[in-house]
Amino acid sequence: MKKTIIDNLNIMRSLLILMSMITLAPAGGISVDAGLTPAQNRWMVRYQVRHIKRSHENMNPESVMQTDMHMLNLAYGLRADLTIMIMQSWMDRESDMMNMQSEFSGMGDLNLMAKYRLYRHNSSTNTLGLATTLCLTAPTGEDPFTSDYWSLAPGFYLSYRLNNWALDASTNYRFQDLLDEKPDGFRSGYEFSLSSALARQLVLGTDGRTALAPVLELTGSVSRNDQMPGQAEQNNEVLMLLSPGLKWTYSSLILEFLVQIPILQDLPEGSMEHSPRGLVGMRYMF
């Protein structure tokens, strides 16, 4: 197991170097929320379904937890350089733990986001841009899908376009338990993520209204749950996903499909392993 993790780390390192050599930015992303701010007064509606499966394969009987996450996102270009967004999720979870089946459905937490364009340069062959974001998560979800605390996640997006190639990168850090009073000895959890997406637009037809883009994403996160006083020390969870996908665009409509393959997972003891995930989405801009 340890050797597999080291092998995977070497592969990841090579891929990261390769991707950083190709470019620095995102904007062709599917799970990577890439790209800069849209036009002033423009709306975007985005709906995504993610299928997430985690399991204890080595346990007998096997324990499995499957979650379908439905996400609805509404964004508006308040100004050319400022976008506001609201995101609400709805979850449907089935679990089978040691032959005990259970099902839960309910709303997730509400996310309010703002994206501000810091820099954008367009030329005849390439576009380079940088934006900063702030995401506030309110604990409005239902049990067991709420985090039970307010959190704030500042982040950055870097976007680079070279001819029909798109490269995007994003990073953010989530501060948890912003407003709650914490007992002595409490250690707040956190989440740090770094993502990149490489895409290539292929023009379909002659009117320029349709395009197909193969997308390859690499995402990684390091997170740790809150640790209550007296609780055993929590280890970090490290997860890296390599995700090939396709994005089909017709005018203002985008359909997207992605498979997220875990290539590295270093989990706290007793945690369920991540299986490959599926993502299907639709975006409409008006």
Partner 1 sequence: MHKSLNMTLLLTIIFFYLSGCSHSSGTVIPEEWSGQGNIHIYKVYGMDCPGCHGGVEKQLVDLDGVQAAHADWSRKQVAILLLTDREVAEDEIRAAIERANFTPGERIQ
Does residue 210 bind partner 1 (CB under 8 A)? Answer: yes
The span of 45-53, 66-74, 188-196, 205-213 binding partner 1 (CB under 8 A) equals 205-213
Contacts with partner 1 by CB under 8 A: the residue count is: 51
Rounded to a whole number of angstroms, the minimum distance from the CB of residue 171 to partner 1 is: 21
Does residue 214 bind partner 1 (CB under 8 A)? Answer: yes
Does residue 123 bind partner 1 (CB under 8 A)? Answer: yes
The closest of 128, 111, 112 to 120, measured between CA atoms, is 128
Residues in 242-261 that interact with partner 1 by CB under 8 A: 242, 244, 249-252, 254, 259, 261
In sequence order, what are the residues at sequence separation of 6 or more whose Cβ sits closer than 8 angstroms to the Cβ of residue 4?
none
Does residue 24 bind partner 1 (CB under 8 A)? Answer: no
The closest of 100, 186, 178 to 139, measured between CA atoms, is 178
284 close to 252: Cβ distance less than 8 angstroms: yes
Does residue 278 bind partner 1 (CB under 8 A)? Answer: no
277 close to 53: Cβ distance less than 8 angstroms: yes
Q: Which is nearer to partner 1, 147 or 201 (CB)?
A: 201
Place of tokens 């008006």: 286
Count CB neighbours of 255 within 10 A: 13
Does residue 276 bind partner 1 (CB under 8 A)? Answer: yes
Q: Which is nearer to partner 1, 231 or 251 (CB)?
A: 251
The span of 49-57, 133-141, 212-220, 225-233 binding partner 1 (CB under 8 A) equals 212-220
Both tokens assigned to 12: 């990841």
Which residue from 88, 146, 201, 271 is in contact with partner 1, where contact means CB under 8 A?
201
Q: Where are the alpha helices (DSSP H) in the chain?
A: 2-22
| Start-to-end CA span in the chain (Å) | 50
The closest of 191, 267, 199 to 32, measured between CA atoms, is 199
Does residue 56 bind partner 1 (CB under 8 A)? Answer: no
Rounded to a whole number of angstroms, the minimum distance from the CB of residue 187 to partner 1 is: 31
Rounded to a whole number of angstroms, the minimum distance from the CB of residue 50 to partner 1 is: 18
Does residue 46 bind partner 1 (CB under 8 A)? Answer: no
232 close to 226: Cβ distance less than 8 angstroms: no
